[in-house]
Amino acid sequence: MDERDAGFLKKLLATFKAEASEHISAISQGLIELEKAGPEAQAEIVERVFRESHSMKGAARAVNLSTVETLCQSFEDVLSALKRKQVSVSTGLIDTLHRSTGLLGELIAHIGEKGAFAAPERSRIRDLIRDFERIMKGVVPSSAPYGMSPVEPPGFSSAASGQGHEISAGAHPPAAGTVRVSKQKLDSVLLQAEGLLTAKQAAGHRAEELQAVMQKALAVKGSMPPELAGAWQQMQTSLAELGRAMEHDRRLLAGMVDGLMDDVKQISMLPFSSVLDLMPMVVRDLARGQGKEASLTVSGARIEIDRRVLDEIREPIIHLLRNAVDHGIEKPEARAARNKNPMGSVRIDIAQKEGKAVEVVISDDGAGIDIEKVRDSAIKLGVIADGEAGSSGGQKLLPLIFRSGVTTSPIITDISGRGLGLAIVQEKVEKLGGAVFCEQSEGRTAFRLLLPLTLATFRGVLIKVSGKPFMLPLTGFDRAVRIRRDDIRTVENRETVPIDGQSVPLVPLWKVLEMRGPEGNMPASAFLQAAVLGTAGHRVAFAVDEVLHEQEILVKDLGRQLARVRNVLGAAVLGTGQVVTVLNVSDLLKSALKTPPEKMAMERGEARTEKEKEKKKKAVLVVEDSITARTLLKNILEAAGYAVKAAVDGVDAFTMLKTERFDLVASDVDMPRMNGLELTARIRQDKHLSGLPVVLVTALESREDRERGIEVGASAYIVKSSFDQSNLLEVIKRLI
């Protein structure tokens, strides 16, 4: 091996070790959870651990670590048996899985060292595989000692715990004029710089408010008594000077914030080539392993993107390349029979889009996706009904390939057939706030990934739905359109509008978000406004009140308590200080298309009756110490037609209950001063409030926590980790 190849291999192995350490950590945590979980939660945990193992196996194959790959395969076989309920969770089984994870950690920690994968390790691997084979036959050991000391993940230094991953001692020293900074420190500086965006927008809003005050001052000049004219003129001069000073300060702050953010972002930007340099070898080796020939062509690799996005997108790209070779590219003789070049073509095309988005298209000239096999697999899995499948066209069935378990492979191999790869791709891309679509045309299959250029800040479009503001990421925003009501047509029982010569589904966004629609159901105008989301091959027009304007926003997640709320990506703070919900475009598209068409139809009936309009709103008190969760719950309930007030803790809430009338209390549990359990007990002890319904919405999800809620007299107990706004609204509707 020459010096260049040796250096390349060293770089490849270092990348694998960093990735594998994350997988091992996730698997270990999953096994700990699995042993403690009840039967109803085990399936989800097994699926999660299975995915981690599957991803690590693929990465090991890419660097020719057959020993690690073999052990992962045996590990997966046992998890598959767990999924099929052929074996059950037991202490002996968990011990054996932990022993396997520990050995994988040891093997990966010593990759590249002299004597790695020596006879003792190979012997232990053989013993473990035999144990797994016995488990598959129903013989589970009663106990399996670990027999090894804990192993730190590759590349992690105990001394640097809490400071992030450090480059190993064997790595090259930094170049002259540079310094080495941990990723966590860099991310912290970036987030603080991005946080200044709110200050910049607030300064702009204050300048606008001052201009409005000055205009009002001018308007009263004509009606002012003569004796006040001098004082008025002096005040006008002062206001004008203050306005000029504020505008100067606003411009100065905006320039400094923009410059700082640009500089810090540039530090975090890396070209796509930093992860794609290794991909041609991955494609070549995968193809040769299956008796095929394939080459990879990359365009746009110099385009730079946030390192945090790049770190997360590496694995989905490998999944899609593996998919192209395994499912798409045919063997040379089959290609020759179809008058194709025996060498299959795989492409990665990267382009920067408007609105600070990047598009990555991974395509191949193989046999394409067999729609009939997708249909059969989806029916077998229960994703669609047999009758429904018969009426669905090929393009409409393509999104099903992203569903876990749906596969076109006739058998399960070490590379594919488990129906997991594309589900993992979609999960990771959507977690970044992006979207992934599959497109198929004659001779080419393409997966289109839309990614944000940066993670925390991006361009968004402010809209109004049922009088409430929301933000749409520009990444998935196609355009705003003004639609004539007369142009609405019904196609295949679904309302559509013509856009660019295509019939695009039309859906009221307030229905997707389960909100109350505008007064009178439809605006009186002959036109309505809509936001068109998606790509050219997969679009939906969402009817809204208004499409306002575009601006840069800083997105904040909702915390681990609300880690996954359907149709919601996060929250953002406008320059006015108002918190708005940032919507998840991919979720909206799924919600719109999977809901029965009759439930998504635009309502054209008479306006609501006067009796309905005058109906008194039910009053709800939201008690939550987190401002983000408090704002989200308040918006959800107000959108559903309730009159809502908020309290920051139990003491604040009980004071309000003594002075105001409410029909229901929705409270968090873990709060300062007086928690939700104490508040519920106080309500039940008060003779005037004892009958008031109390709904506890909390992150505490153990059986003991639920029992404590019941003991103090809670009317309902909703866990935030499985939070669904429709569940909350249904519970409240039932109680009041």
Predicted confidence band of residue 181 (pLDDT cuts 50, 70, 90)? low
Q: What is the pLDDT of residues 365-375, one digit of tens each?
A: 998 887 887 77
Greatest mean pLDDT range, 279-283, 429-433, 462-466, 536-540: 462-466
| Backbone φ and ψ of 505, nearest 5° | -55, 135
Using a pLDDT cut of 90, give the percent of the chain over it: 13
With H, G, I as helix, E, B as strand and everything else as coil, classify residue 266: helix
> How many Å apart are CA 487 and CA 363, to the nearest integer?
36
Contact criterion met (CB below 8 Å) for 103 and 45: no
- Is the pLDDT higher at 677 or at 282? 677
DSSP lists the bridge partners of residue 542 as 507, 531
And the tokens for 565?
């709320």
- Is the pLDDT higher at 98 or at 8? 98
Q: What string of H, E and C letters represents the secondary structure of 606-649? A: CCCCHHHHHCCCCEEEEECCCHHHHHHHHHHHHHCCCEEEEECC
CA angle 488, 493, 495 (to 5 degrees): 25
Instruction: Using DSSP bridges, classify how beta strands 538-544 and 527-535 pair: parallel, antiparallel or unpaired.
Output: antiparallel
Element (H, E) at 452: strand 444-452
Residue among 78, 206, 49, 69 nearest 138 (CA): 78
Using a pLDDT cut of 70, give the percent of the chain over it: 77
Element (H, E) at 718: strand 716-719
> How many Å apart are CA 5 and CA 94, to the nearest integer?
41
Task: Say what the pLDDT of residue 230 is.
Answer: 75
Task: Say what the pLDDT of residue 621 is.
Answer: 95
Q: At what angle do helices 66-83 and 39-62 cross, to 10 degrees?
A: 160
Residue among 681, 633, 689 nearest 661 (CA): 689
Task: Say what the pLDDT of residue 20 is.
Answer: 85
Distance of CA 353 to the CA centre of its chain: 20
Distance of CA 219 to the CA centre of its chain: 50
Contact criterion met (CB below 8 Å) for 268 and 452: no
With H, G, I as helix, E, B as strand and everything else as coil, classify residue 339: coil
> How many Å apart are CA 574 and CA 462, to the nearest integer?
10
